[in-house]
């Protein structure tokens, strides 16, 4: 909790006899109990937040960038002879796009278990080394079977990254800060389009009689990823309590400031009752439908984007260069949508508004004559705005889930939905449908409409849950209306503008013993949990 009193530079542990009873609580609760009540100023909190942003965020950005780069290498190599050099026939290229997500789908339950039981930093670092090695070894594959095997292994290691980064975001930042941070690392998808296209453009000019162009691209991307993976393992802390680069007081502030999330930090204990609640929670499956709906077109364009642009009538190198604006579109829409959702606290409406852009783009690509290449290209860029919807769904589901095991299993289901959509997506396109790819575009059009509808439906259910929790608080003799400190924005707390939480009768304050968020309680069973609509 923050106030206007400055704390001491040295934190003395509380004697065991005086420490609050937090048996059964998370490690964060035990860590805070050892040091007693912690108070800090707004300036101290902003200083710690800056240190977290400067250390943790760049590592997350790098991990997601290299994951997207290695995954997208298949699309880049498709127009530089991969299909002919590896003698791919019929739907085999589409299957190479889908098999990666089959691996991710199969491995999501394992990823959820590992993220509960083991430190995040080590799990992510080892995964980066694994998929980087697989990307480099893909260069040795010269036929469909070997490419399928390496793409499956690539997907196995990459299955860790998105749920891991989501868990890290939940651990280090308040809920009001999570949307923008999640958008930053998801925006690396757009950065990958730009950097990857430039890298591919340069490597594609290398002529050799001993190695295919696509092999050069795989080797370069894979080796860079391995080097980053080594740096990640050395620099990434496993939790705020274990961050060696923070002082003891900074660790306490970093831990205390996320208490208001009512989501916990890290229990390292697997709970089957959380798994059961996840599977019976209606909102879990509403988000599952939403993520599948947007992932189907995402998977199709991820594998066939370069080919679609080429079939507008552009040459191979021109098709690569025209991917550059795609990256810029995604960066702007992802971060811009996150800012809007944070500013107005309406994620459902933001998602519905975003769905209208790719909807319009798909209609243009279906109806505009092939002779009007510029208009078709504009429609293609509108469709790429779909990239802003996926991170919004990740954040939305994460912000509305509490309990360590439930958070991980909910994330696993979200990413299983993402994988399912990305498996289906490339299969709706076929090289034989060139140049219009009409079946794939029509199916994508339907999915965009479904996304818009779900963006309006889900907030209604979340408002129902908030009313249910308010009634539960009343029955316990407390105020039905409480302040959700985790969603306060910077302007709400800067310069003394924030209402004094300690004097506010609606404050969401609890002692460590009573704080359900730090005792691994799920959102449905914690009446103090407030859902974000």
How confident is the model over 157-192, as pLDDT tens digits? Answer: 999 998 899 989 988 998 889 899 999 999 998 898
Residue of 32 and 332 predicted with greater confidence: 332
What is the arithmetic mean of pLDDT over 294-301? 91
pLDDT of the residue at 267: 60
Whether residue 18 is predicted with pLDDT greater than 50 in this model: the reply is: no
DSSP 6: P
Burial 168-181 (b: 16+ CB within 10 A, else e): bbbbbbbbbbbbeb
DSSP 229: H
pLDDT mean across residues, the chain: 84
The pLDDT tens digits for 42-72 are: 899 999 999 999 999 999 999 999 998 988 8
What is the arithmetic mean of pLDDT over 19-34? 59
Backbone angles phi, psi at 337, to 5 degrees: -65, -35
Whether residue 87 is predicted with pLDDT greater than 70 in this model: the reply is: yes
HEC-encoded secondary structure of 40-74: ECHHHHHHHHHHHHHHHHHHHHHHHHHHHHHHHHH
What is the arithmetic mean of pLDDT over 216-239? 93
Q: Which of 21-25, 406-410, 495-499 has the highest mean pLDDT?
A: 406-410
Q: Residue 2 pairs with which residues in a beta bridge? A: 40
- Report whether 226 contacts 366 (CB < 8 A): no
| Bond preceding residue 435 cis, omega within 30 of 0 | yes
Helix 120-137 vs helix 42-78: angle between axes, to the nearest 10 degrees?
20
Instruction: List the structure tokens of 102.
Output: 């089959």
SS3 state at 2: strand
Q: Please state, in angstroms and as integers, the Cα–Cα distance from residue 237 to each residue in 57, 246, 270, 407, following that order.
A: 12, 10, 21, 20
Residue pointed to by tokens 């941070």: 181
DSSP labels for 282-304?
HHHHHHHHHHHHHHHHHHHHHHH
What is the arithmetic mean of pLDDT over 14-27? 48
Confidence band (pLDDT; 50, 70, 90) for 127?
very high
Residue of 79 and 281 predicted with greater confidence: 281
- Report whether 158 contacts 131 (CB < 8 A): yes
- Report whether 332 contacts 411 (CB < 8 A): no
Q: Which of 118-132, 157-171, 174-188, 303-317 has the lowest mean pLDDT?
A: 303-317
Share of the chain above pLDDT 70, in %: 85
Confidence band (pLDDT; 50, 70, 90) for 23?
very low
pLDDT of the residue at 402: 87
Q: Which of 4-8, 256-260, 321-325, 455-459 has the lowest mean pLDDT?
A: 4-8
pLDDT of the residue at 389: 95
SS3 state at 85: helix
Q: Which of 200-209, 359-368, 466-475, 500-509 has the lowest mean pLDDT?
A: 500-509
Instruction: List the structure tokens of 428.
Output: 């709706």
Tell me how far apart the alpha carbons of residues 313 and 319 are, in angstroms, rounded to a whole number: 9
SS3 state at 15: coil
Whether residue 362 is predicted with pLDDT greater than 60 in this model: the reply is: yes
pLDDT of the residue at 459: 96
Whether residue 129 is predicted with pLDDT greater than 80 in this model: the reply is: yes
pTM (two decimals): 0.79
Tell me how far apart the alpha carbons of residues 322 and 355 are, in angstroms, rounded to a whole number: 23
Residue of 493 and 453 predicted with greater confidence: 453
pLDDT of the residue at 385: 94
Q: Is 192 left (phi over 0), alpha (psi -120 to 50) or beta?
A: alpha
Whether residue 4 is predicted with pLDDT greater than 70 in this model: the reply is: no
Strands (E), 325-415: none
Residue of 498 and 484 predicted with greater confidence: 484
Tell me how far apart the alpha carbons of residues 113 and 167 are, in angstroms, rounded to a whole number: 12
Structural domains in the chain, CATH included, are: 42-243+250-467 (1.20.1250.20)
Tell me how far apart the alpha carbons of residues 131 and 226 are, in angstroms, rounded to a whole number: 8
Q: Which helix (H) or strand (E) holds 381?
A: helix 373-383
Confidence band (pLDDT; 50, 70, 90) for 94?
confident
Tell me how far apart the alpha carbons of residues 365 and 437 are, in angstroms, rounded to a whole number: 9
Q: Which helix (H) or strand (E) holds 195?
A: helix 188-203
SS3 state at 32: helix
What is the arithmetic mean of pLDDT over 458-476? 93
pLDDT of the residue at 152: 94
C-alpha closest to that of 306 among 326, 292, 332 = 326
Confidence band (pLDDT; 50, 70, 90) for 92?
confident
Q: Which of 188-192, 353-357, 378-382 has the lowest mean pLDDT?
A: 188-192
DSSP labels for 448-516?
HHHHHHHHHHHHHHHHHHHHHHHHHHHHTTS-S----GGG--HHHHGGG-S--GGG-TT-----TTT-G
């Amino acid at each position: 909790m923050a106030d206007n009193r400055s704390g001491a530079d040295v934190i003395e542990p509380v004697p065991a006899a005086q420490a609050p009873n937090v048996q059964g609580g998370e490690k964060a609760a035990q860590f805070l109990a050892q040091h007693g009540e912690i108070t800090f100023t707004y300036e101290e909190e902003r200083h710690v937040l800056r240190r977290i942003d400067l250390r943790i965020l760049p590592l997350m950005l790098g991990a997601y960038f290299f994951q997207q780069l290695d995954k997208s290498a298949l699309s880049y190599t498709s127009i530089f002879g991969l299909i002919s050099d590896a003698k791919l026939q019929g739907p085999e290229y589409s299957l190479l796009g889908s098999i990666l997500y089959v691996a991710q789908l199969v491995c999501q339950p394992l990823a959820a278990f590992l993220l509960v039981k083991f430190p995040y930093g080590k799990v992510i670092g080892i995964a980066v080394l694994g998929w980087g090695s697989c990307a480099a070894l893909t260069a040795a594959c010269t036929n469909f079977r070997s490419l399928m095997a390496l793409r499956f292994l690539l997907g196995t290691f990459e299955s860790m990254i998105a749920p891991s980064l989501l868990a890290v975001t939940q651990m280090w930042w308040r809920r009001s800060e999570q949307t923008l941070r999640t958008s930053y690392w998801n925006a690396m998808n757009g950065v990958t389009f730009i950097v990857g296209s430039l890298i591919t453009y340069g490597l594609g000019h290398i002529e050799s009689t001993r190695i295919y162009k696509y092999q050069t691209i795989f080797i370069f991307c894979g080796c860079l990823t391995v080097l980053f993976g080594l740096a990640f393992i050395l620099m990434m802390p496993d939790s705020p309590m274990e961050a060696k680069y923070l002082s003891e007081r900074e660790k306490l502030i970093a831990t205390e400031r996320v208490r208001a999330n009512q989501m916990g930090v890290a229990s390292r204990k697997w709970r089957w009752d959380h798994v059961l609640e996840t599977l019976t929670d209606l909102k879990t499956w509403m988000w599952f439908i939403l993520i599948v709906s947007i992932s189907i077109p995402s998977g199709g364009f991820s594998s066939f984007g370069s080919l679609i642009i080429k079939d507008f009538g552009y040459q191979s190198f021109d098709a690569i260069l025209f991917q550059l604006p795609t990256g810029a579109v995604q960066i702007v829409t992802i971060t811009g949508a996150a800012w809007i959702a944070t500013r107005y606290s309406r994620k459902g409406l933001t998602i519905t508004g975003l769905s209208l852009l790719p909807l319009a783009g798909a209609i243009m690509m279906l109806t505009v004559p092939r002779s009007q290449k510029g208009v078709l290209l504009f429609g293609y860029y509108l469709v790429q705005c779909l990239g802003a919807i996926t991170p919004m769904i990740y954040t939305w589901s994460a912000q509305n889930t509490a309990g360590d095991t439930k958070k991980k299993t909910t994330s696993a289901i979200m990413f299983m939905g993402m994988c399912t959509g990305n498996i289906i997506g490339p299969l709706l396109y076929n090289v034989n449908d060139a140049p219009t790819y009409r079946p794939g575009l029509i199916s994508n059009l339907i999915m965009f409409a479904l996304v818009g509808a779900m963006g309006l439906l889900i907030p209604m259910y979340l408002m129902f849950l908030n009313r249910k929790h308010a009634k539960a608080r009343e029955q316990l003799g407390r105020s039905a209306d409480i302040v959700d400190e985790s969603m306060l924005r910077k302007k709400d707390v800067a310069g003394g503008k924030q209402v004094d939480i300690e004097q506010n009768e609606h404050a969401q304050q609890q002692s460590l013993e009573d704080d359900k968020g730090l005792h691994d309680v799920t959102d449905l069973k914690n009446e103090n949990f407030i859902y974000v609509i």
